[in-house]
Amino acid sequence: MEPLAERMRPRTLDDYVGQQHLVGPGAVLRRMIEGGRISSFILWGPPGVGKTTLAQIIANRLKTPFYTLSAVTSGVKDVREVIERAGRNRFFDSLSPILFIDEIHRFSKSQQDSLLGAVEKGVVTLIGATTENPSFEVIRPLLSRCQLYVLKPLEKEDLLRLLHRAVTEDTELRKRDIRLTQTDALLRYSGGDARKLLNILELVVEACGDATTVEITDPLVEERLQQNPLAYDKDGEMHYDIISAFIKSIRGSDPDAALYWMARMIEGGEDPKFIARRLVISAAEDIGLANPNALLLANAAFDTVTKIGWPEGRIPLAEAAVYLATSPKSNSAYLGIDAALALVRQTGNLPVPLHLRNAPTKLMADLGYHDGYKYPHDYPGHFTPQQYLPDGVKDRRLWHAQHSPAEERQYQWMKTCWGDRFEEKNQK
């Protein structure tokens, strides 16, 4: 018999739970599917949110051949064979067959390279699924040929809907009187993973033997899972909760907690590069200009762990985690670039001031390009005031110092250069 999660796998968009920003009424993917044509895309999201299911629904809806490859077991030869088979089975003016690759982030560069031609020529429509940031693991040429859609963790309401549907519609569960008296433990242990949620439910029900009536309570779930914890999560519990706790411990300057959560990830079999990437992100986002050396050290830890692997790789990762946790914190650059992006989206393509423009031709020089530009190195202190922002936003402030010891020096220099523009009264 198929597992409950497989029996309950949705077959249509109307049965699909969650991801309304992609498949809800009028959403981008639903419009493409209902229009009968889709382009290649990559689905990025945590486990158990419906990536594989969505790909299968699309193939069924479009009635096009559907091929799958595993990034774990398939080589370049397998990729080429599937592409050749897909090309042979495609009829004139018909939709391209769908090639679904689960865990595409595990594909090597050569495997991904072998996909480029087929995707570009439309021999296949690629649907990739990944739990990792595609910008880290998917080669740029392939990523540029695919749309990227982000799948969100399932909400509590989505998970409850799945539970009630399972106990009322599944061919096996509906033979019993299953009462969902308490659901907090089910939701907690599932960690937002629909597949895990249904696996837990099935485990608990089966553990009750042949009982006609099964009352699901939090103590019952906790009792059953304590007896057989690996039955619901063989790869380490609450992956995304733990990485969140890890990052927040660093941000909160608690080295003990940072080491604890790192140890949980290591013991759970986490990819060391995954941990290293989070350290690099934290160094840039949370420590920032308060200690610019943090980013250098995090990158060095990433490089080191890539070279030496386990178990020694735990040492540079631990050094980096403790260093980041004990460093002063600043997110001024993070806030500054987000403010700048918001301003650009609001104001559009404002013209570059004439004195800042390059003048490689006589015509440009005649039009005033570069005219009036002051070369800062010609002035005392290598600075002279002049306008650098477009006219429409010339007085806007985007970067605000947070006055950590390192940033205080930068702030004082800006006050020396710009005077009132950088006074505290002008800061948000």
Name beta bridge partners: 69.
Answer: 101
Tabulate helix, strand, coil % of the chain (nearest 5).
55, 5, 35
Catalogue all structural domains in the chain, each as residue range(s) with its CATH number.
18-150 (3.40.50.300), 156-231 (1.10.8.60), 239-326 (1.20.272.10), 339-426 (1.10.3710)
- What's the first-to-final CA gap in the chain, in angstroms? 62
pLDDT of residue 267: 76
Tens digits of per-residue pLDDT, 296-344?
999 999 999 988 888 888 899 999 999 999 988 888 888 888 888 888 8
Does the predicted TM-score (pTM) go above 0.85?
A: no
Nearest alpha-carbon partner for 187 in 144, 220, 156: 156
Q: Mind listing the pLDDT tens digit for each residue in 75-122?
A: 778 778 888 887 776 655 567 788 888 888 888 888 888 888 888 888
Q: Show the low-confidence residues of the chain (pLDDT under 50).
A: 227-237, 426-428
Local structure of residue 268 (DSSP, 8 states): T
Give the C-alpha separation, 312 to 294, whole Å.
Answer: 21
pLDDT at res. 207: 83
How confident is the model at residue 428, as a pLDDT?
43
